[in-house]
């Protein structure tokens, strides 16, 4: 029998080199994404484009009745950015309020997560149920309940202070004073946001190898040193995500502030950026100015979200 051997095919000298064929991108995944992209474009894309167009127009309540809007270019943006007593004051107030809420939320959430690691199974379950109940309560319902607690005439706080101090606290209004208003608002927002931070931090801390913590303890590291030098590096990415998300959520807070203002707060002295945009448009009818403020706020949120997305992509590449 004769055997034949297959030798690799070689190109002749001087023959043109054929470029490799490009693989066509798969069509099926993009086809499946089309319905979602269409829905996303209709629900998000169109309102966003409409908002940008409105921000360049003098859009008042008369335009809601069908009158054409006058194109004013960047006049709305100039008016907003030069309004020191209005826009810049509210924006600064919103950032200060956000910083206080984020710091308290992260500190308390981390402490509760550390506490859950040391509790037994029964107590940990009890704490988890309490956190879930606080997290599950709608923001509007929670704000109304807290408003009753600090009510002027029959609030629990006023009755308790009257019983403890002996002074008559009945009739004291906690919401008329802007500082006290934001103290109560901070309490409400932190109370509702701590469960998410606590559960997320607890899930991250439980992934730290026990051998590493035991070795550090045998080397003489105390609880604070173990937390600072071992735990934080392990969950640094989780902390970054939680801080960025908390900044975004607390900066655009609306329900709690608006509801507290309805209970008894001074709107002019307690507005945050979300409520300010709403009042500028719905209450005063200046939809063009409200659109300009919203676009500026969107760019602020995009800048914060960009850092979050970049951190997420970096972790996926590791």
Residue ranges of domains in the chain, CATH in brackets:
99-317 (1.10.3720.10)
Residue 49, helix vs strand vs coil: helix
Question: Which positions ≥6 away from 170 have C-beta within 8 Å?
Answer: 152, 153, 158, 159, 162
Give the residue from 235, 181, 187, 241 showing the smallest Cα distance to 212.
235
pLDDT of residue 1: 46
Sign of CA dihedral 163, 165, 166, 170: negative
Residues of the chain with pLDDT under 50: 1-2
Give the residue from 135, 106, 98, 110 showing the smallest Cα distance to 304.
98
Residues forming a β-bridge with 71: 57
Q: How far is residue 176's CA from residue 265's CA, in Å, rounded to a whole number? A: 5
Q: How far is residue 18's CA from residue 11's CA, in Å, rounded to a whole number? A: 10
Residue 119, helix vs strand vs coil: coil
Q: How far is residue 34's CA from residue 206's CA, in Å, rounded to a whole number? A: 40
Residue 206 CA to its chain's centroid (Å): 25
pLDDT of residue 73: 86
Residue 266, helix vs strand vs coil: coil
Question: Which positions ≥6 away from 145 have C-beta within 8 Å?
Answer: none
Q: For the whole model, what pTM was predicted?
A: 0.81
Q: How far is residue 104's CA from residue 186's CA, in Å, rounded to a whole number? A: 9
């Amino acid at each position: 029998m004769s055997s034949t051997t297959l030798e690799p095919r070689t190109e002749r000298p001087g023959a043109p080199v054929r470029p490799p064929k490009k693989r066509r991108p798969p069509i099926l995944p993009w086809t499946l994404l089309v319905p979602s992209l269409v829905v996303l474009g209709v629900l998000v894309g169109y309102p966003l484009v409409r908002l940008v167009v409105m921000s360049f127009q003098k859009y008042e309540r008369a335009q809601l009745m069908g009158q054409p809007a006058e194109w004013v270019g960047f006049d709305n943006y100039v008016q907003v950015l030069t309004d020191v007593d209005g826009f810049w004051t509210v924006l600064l107030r919103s950032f200060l309020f956000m910083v206080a809420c984020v710091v308290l939320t992260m500190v308390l959430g981390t402490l509760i997560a550390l506490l859950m690691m040391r509790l037994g199974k029964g107590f940990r379950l009890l704490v988890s149920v309490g956190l879930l109940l606080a997290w599950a309560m709608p923001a509007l319902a929670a704000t109304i309940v807290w408003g009753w607690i600090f009510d002027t005439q029959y609030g629990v706080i006023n009755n308790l202070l009257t019983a403890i101090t002996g002074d008559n606290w009945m009739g004291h209004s906690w919401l008329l004073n802007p500082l006290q208003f934001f103290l109560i608002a901070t309490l409400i927002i932190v109370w509702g946001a701590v469960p998410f931070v606590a559960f997320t931090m607890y899930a991250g801390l439980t992934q730290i190898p026990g051998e590493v913590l035991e070795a550090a303890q045998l080397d003489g590291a105390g609880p604070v040193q173990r937390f600072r030098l071992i735990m934080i590096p392990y969950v640094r990415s989780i902390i970054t995500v939680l801080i960025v998300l908390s900044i975004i959520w607390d900066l655009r807070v609306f329900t709690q502030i608006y509801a507290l203002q309805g209970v008894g707060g001074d709107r002019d002295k307690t507005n945050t950026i979300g409520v300010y945009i709403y009042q500028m448009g719905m209450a005063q009818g200046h939809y063009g100015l409200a659109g300009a403020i919203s676009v500026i706020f969107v760019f602020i949120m995009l800048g914060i979200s960009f850092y979050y997305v970049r951190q997420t992509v970096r972790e996926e590449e590791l």
